[in-house]
Amino acid sequence: MEITTATLLYEGAPIVHVSRAAAEGVLAPPVGMNAVGRVLSIGASATASGRTTESGLSCDGGVTLSVVYADPDGGIHGFESTAAFSNEAACPDLPAGAPVTVDPVVSELRHTVTNGTINVRIELSLRYTVLPQCSAAVLSGIEGAGVVELLKRPAALCHTVRADDELTLTEDIHLPQSAAEILSTSAFCRISGVSVSGANASVNGVLCAEVLFAGPDGIPAQAAFSLPFEAEAELPEGAESACARCRVISAEAVLTGEDTAELTAVAELWVIAAVKEETELTTDAYSSAEKLDCAFLTLALRRDVWADCRATARIELPLPAGMPEAETVHYVRLRPVACGVECADGSVRLSATLHASALYTCAAGLLHSFETTVFCDAQCECPAAKAGMRAEAQLNAELLNASGMPGGIAARLNLTASVTGYLLAEETVLTDAQPAGSRGGSYGPVVYFPAEGESPWEIGRRFGVPQAELLKENPGIEKAVPHAVLVNMRRYI
């Protein structure tokens, strides 16, 4: 008996590894700026690139810090700085060369002021995701004595491909009032849609930017801008669907007039597409002349699911004990710390942890600031989601408005989530079939009572009857197998 095999390439279940990293240093205002008297808020965002190593996983990244502070005389200023971090994580038995993505989140930021500078320590949570490209040698054909039957079933294998690009987005913006100084700028990208035509993908998105600035009176103010953008990416032929992920690397606003500024953001754009390959999998075999000893392998085939969803949420920021009520809220800065995703059919529930920094004026006209951590959840429509689907989300929070309330500050915000999930389909395939002795006996007619639900394939395999002969002796059996009724067939006995 001679068998032939073929190499089946498929994408297996993601390997997820969670680790932690830290960065620390001293932040000093640029030359010419006043020394730090009191920190009002520090915004932080992180980026990282990962790779596999001999011992596991590794990444290098950076944290961009946006500092708003009051000098010893009460003047409000802002500046940006960066801190680098790296991480080595032991994770044995990783597939060589598999793509790795790292999602870094600033989970905690501590600071102290010493001699006009800021000492910071940043704790980061890192989520490594390895997408293995797997292969298996599967049986494709058998030649031997008698008639050999192969049970094959069609299958669609999905392969993901990624096209990377870097975008520089520039726009002139008008501030709602005159500005004396830009304090800080933050931004994220929201993807509106991706369309695939041939080998090209068109991406429509919005750069959501937030600018903190000081007015002529020195009082900080907050302004939000939504700037649409378009991008193109080349994809392989056969791409059926695609999504895009866009991560802002840097954002800066520079005053060009009393109430105008030039906003510039640099972002990484990833366009991820699914290419579907139709194939046949050999799932079983038998011979009319020999018994076969078959070997099987169960494969977990991955199909990625992407979605972008939004929801509106309301949060309350409680004032620390002893602080006066908020008369006017000047800004609320939000930094996502964690996000859990629970999938249902057609929807996802986001459970978000947010770090908030707030600056407000009390009734006496004095500036106050505080930081706190809040929790919120939201239900989002997501047609691609399936119940039980494993998913994660990159979350961004966009402030809509904020106002004082008894004992705190109330804020409304948009939650924007880029959800990445996957579904696993188990397929059992035949990898080997070796002769295990002759069926023997004499050839003649028999009567058989099929068990309920038994298929023609199962009947033929039980008795070693070629499928063509079984169908000839029992017309219509391929459409419906009679229950508890005599079935005419021939077999080795």
Closest alpha carbon to 304 in 334, 276, 263? 276
pLDDT at 485: 47
357-405 per-position pLDDT tens digit: 999 999 999 999 999 999 999 998 888 888 888 899 999 999 999 999 9
One domain, residues 416 and 322: yes
Return the minimum-mean-pLDDT range out of 15-19, 424-428, 456-460: 456-460
Pick the more confident residue, 455 or 261: 261
One domain, residues 41 and 99: yes
5: in domain: no
Beta strand extents in 362-462 (DSSP E only): 367-381, 390-405, 408-438, 443-448
72: in domain: yes
236: in domain: yes
294: in domain: no
pLDDT at position 471 over 80 = yes
One domain, residues 165 and 207: yes
283: in domain: yes
One domain, residues 130 and 161: no
CA distance 317 to 374: 7
One domain, residues 308 and 421: yes
Q: What is the CATH number of the domain that holds 451?
A: 3.10.350
Range of the domain at 222: 144-288
81: in domain: yes
86: in domain: yes
Check if the beta carbon of residue 138 is closer than 8 Å to that of residue 145. no
One domain, residues 165 and 284: yes
Q: What is the mean pLDDT of the segment spanning 223-248? A: 89
* Res. 55 pLDDT band, cuts 50 70 90: confident
124-169 per-position pLDDT tens digit: 999 999 988 889 999 999 987 788 999 999 998 888 888 899 999 9
One domain, residues 58 and 78: yes
34: in domain: yes
Q: What angle do CA 40, 206, 234 make, to 5 degrees?
A: 130
Sequence-separated contacts (24+) of 293-298 with Cβ below 8 Å: 293/433, 293/434, 293/435, 293/436, 294/430, 294/432, 294/433, 295/430, 295/431, 295/432, 295/433, 296/428, 296/429, 296/430, 296/431, 297/136, 297/138, 297/428, 297/429, 297/431, 298/426, 298/427, 298/428, 298/429
One domain, residues 388 and 427: yes
The pTM score is 0.86
pLDDT at position 492 over 60 = no
pLDDT at 355: 96
79-122 per-position pLDDT tens digit: 999 999 999 999 888 887 788 999 999 999 999 999 999 999 99
Q: What is the mean pLDDT of the segment spanning 203-213? A: 95
| Alpha helices (runs of H) in 355-450, residue ranges in sequence order | none
pLDDT at position 414 over 50 = yes
Q: What angle do CA 417, 313, 344 make, to 5 degrees?
A: 55
One domain, residues 210 and 260: yes
Q: What is the mean pLDDT of the chain?
A: 90
Last residue of a domain, one of 78, 112, 136: 136
Last residue of a domain, one of 413, 435, 457: 435
One domain, residues 89 and 185: no
DSSP state of 145: S
One domain, residues 485 and 461: yes
Last residue of a domain, one of 102, 118, 136: 136
Structural domains counted in the chain? 4
One domain, residues 274 and 157: yes
